[in-house]
Amino acid sequence: MAYTEWTFFLYFAVVAAIYFFLPGKARRVWLLLCSLGYVFLWQVSAGFFVVGSSLVTYLGARLVAPQPETENREHRRRILAVFLFLIFGLLAVLKYSGMAVDTANSIAGALGSYKRLELPDLVLPVGLSFYTFASAGYLIDSFRGDVKPEKNFGKYLLFLAFFPNFSAGPIERSRNLLRQIQTIDQVNLWDHQRIVSGAFTVLWGYFLKLVIADRAAILVAQVFDRFWAYGSFELLVGAVVFSIQIYGDFAGGSYMALGFARILGFELIDNFNAPYFSLSIKDFWRRWHISLSSWFRDYLYIPLGGNRKGTARKYVNTAVVFLVCGMWHGANWTFLVWGALHALYQVIGGLTKDKREALYQRLHIDTSSGSFHALQRLCVFLLSSFAWILFRAGSLTQAGIYIWRIFARPDYWNVMNGTIYQLGLSNTEMNLLFLSTAALFAVDWLRDRKKKEFSELVAQSQPWVRILIALALLISILFFGCYGSNFGESAFIYAEF
């Protein structure tokens, strides 16, 4: 049951209707039953996997947690390594064994061997990457003593199976969501402002997904699936629109999760903060998929030494993090190269920082001016859009040809002859995409300027303005959204990871 299916909306409505009238402690039981029901209804194997993973890491946390009376850090570290190997090993087998076999067969074929390895079909459970990282973070936090191991298995199971964010994140921390689960009986569920804030956040998520992302997906599929037939202009349009699509798709899903959880009395990690208004690629990764980038910072980059062991080690650590980040996204070499490219961006940015600042001073360039910041943001958008080509392409070969044709087949004059209206969308549909994207960037501009999320911006407006915003979002979603099999609805991109 994806967020965009009417069955999810109906399911949530039934869950919430009963949940709001239950006494404190019964809320957790009801949410646990409903979360498990949601997972099992979506995919039975996913239900067994999340229960099994929860049981393993629940027991593991109790073994790796500090015990002052018999403290043996090295012994606990070895136990932690075993449990991390178990959960990440399972993820690797289910997610990457196919890629490994295909690569081995390709190498063998290139060497003249006709023997091929065969792999039985493996089912990748829904949400596996998300709750694997959440449970690994819980194990490491328990080892460090940052959290106390949860004694109640039901509460911990709810932490991993919590249905509003189960399929597409954000990757939650035990210090955030689990603590809220422990104290949900103390929350005033009938807080009008919280419910309205959650509803606006949900509407904004549906707008990003159905009005922007799914409409953009039609154009993107047209260009990427027939890239050999297009020149530079069309391919650049495809790459830029995919940047919009993936943002609307993933941020839309994250806002839906955030809003649905908020209605139920929980605050999830805000996963996006106007990423295309970043002033550098480093800044971009502070704003994009925040739950994942912060996870890698806390549990991989800093343990590797961070920036504490010299410049060379810092950039090696950065490269390791982004290579792993790339592989997290999918079992394809394109994701690995995508991660490597972002690492390269950061390394080049870091190595040239002092020289660039010296050049700006020599040329008397005001780096605090609005025009300079606009240029920085444009550069970040173009660099990230270029990298997204690897993310969207089906293979490195396709990505290479796509990029080559951008530079080798110039037809930039097509910007003047209406070609952009011949890329899978009608004139009306294309204009709707323009307008809705402009609305997205306007909201992100306000968010970047005022440092407040969408629902907070709405809450600060006059009541009549809030009513107009709600009506505008509802009308846009109902009349201009791409929903249903005949209207180009696409699955959430990050649900595949």
pLDDT along the chain (497 residues), means of 10: 86 95 91 96 92 95 84 88 94 85 77 73 83 96 94 96 89 94 91 95 96 95 93 95 96 96 96 96 96 95 90 94 92 93 95 92 92 96 97 94 92 81 91 96 95 92 93 94 55 60
Q: Which amino acid is at 384?
A: S
Q: Say if CB 253 and CB 171 are below 8 A apart.
A: no
pLDDT of residue 111: 75
Q: Say if CB 287 and CB 254 are below 8 A apart.
A: no
Mapped onto helix, strand or coil, the DSSP state of residue 294 is helix
Q: Say if CB 35 and CB 161 are below 8 A apart.
A: yes
pLDDT of residue 486: 38
Sign of CA dihedral 411, 414, 415, 420: negative
Q: What kind and span of H or E run contains 45? A: helix 44-64
pLDDT of residue 6: 87
Ordered alpha helix ranges (H), 393-480: 396-408, 427-450, 454-459, 463-480
pLDDT of residue 183: 92
Token couple for 422: 């011949």
CA pair distance 242, 219, nearest whole angstrom: 9
Distance of CA 444 to the CA centre of its chain: 17
pLDDT of residue 113: 72
pLDDT of residue 274: 96
pLDDT of residue 112: 76
pLDDT of residue 446: 95
